[in-house]
Amino acid sequence: MQSEINTLAGDTIANYKTVQSLGHEEKLFEKLNEMLTRQKNEEVKKSHVIAIAVGFGVAIQNVTFGILYLVIAELHYYFPHLNYADMFLAMFAVIFGGFSAAQASSMGPDLAKGIDAAEKIFKIVDTPSEINAIEDDLSKKSASHLKGEIEFRDVWFRYPQRLEQWVFKGLNLKINQNDTIAVVGESGQGKSTLISLIMRFYDPEFG
């Protein structure tokens, strides 16, 4: 729900001119207000459950302390030779050891998420790159033949994350030496992709 609210609010703010020109401000505001109200009701229910659970946990803790104090008092009454300090030391060691174990176990889901994230990071790091500029022997290449021209010939390109969506389909573009050009267009039309291909952050599929 939170991600849907963020997406709706972000898209509305980013495209506020379009929203205003179409007269959809009130409609989007009502939709956002409905989503926020729904989330608020869900969070209120969760807070009630959490409050009851926390209160129950604290009650158990206090009852446990009371019972242990009573047991120690009874033991001290019937067995005066027992060491009073040692009994309290053992009691607190068991109680706080249990609290620490419970807190550690509550971090189990986060630990699993961290391990999963680390595996994804190392998988990306260990993936061999198709463009390996480090191992290229630049000493054998000369820049004397370069003319300062950039040319795209029937370039087809799509991002590895979105193989079903082509960004360029047969792009042809030539930039001559000493030319000054401007690349303009709406968001998602491939301006940044063009620069990424020139910088060779990616290689084209064809062309």
Percent of the chain whose predicted confidence (pLDDT) is above 70: 91
Tell me the pTM.
0.38
Indicate the pLDDT class of residue 206, thresholds 50, 70 and 90: confident
Q: 160-170 pLDDT, tens per residue? A: 777 788 888 88
| pLDDT band for position 64 (cuts 50, 70, 90) | confident
Mean pLDDT of the chain: 79
Domain boundaries, the chain: 2-119, 146-198
Encoding tokens for residue 66? 């009371």
Examine the pLDDT at 18 and tell me if it is beyond 80: no
Q: What is the pLDDT of residues 101-119, one digit of tens each?
A: 777 777 777 778 888 889 9
User: Tell me: the pLDDT tens digits for 134-160?
Assistant: 665 555 556 666 777 888 888 888 887
pLDDT digits (tens, 9 = 90+) for 73-90: 888 788 878 777 777 788
pLDDT at 131: 67
**pLDDT-derived band of residue 121, with 50, 70 and 90 as boundaries?**
very high
| pLDDT tier for residue 1 given thresholds of 50, 70 and 90 | low
The residue type found at 37 is T
Q: How far is CA 97 from CA 102, 106, 137, in A?
A: 9, 14, 60
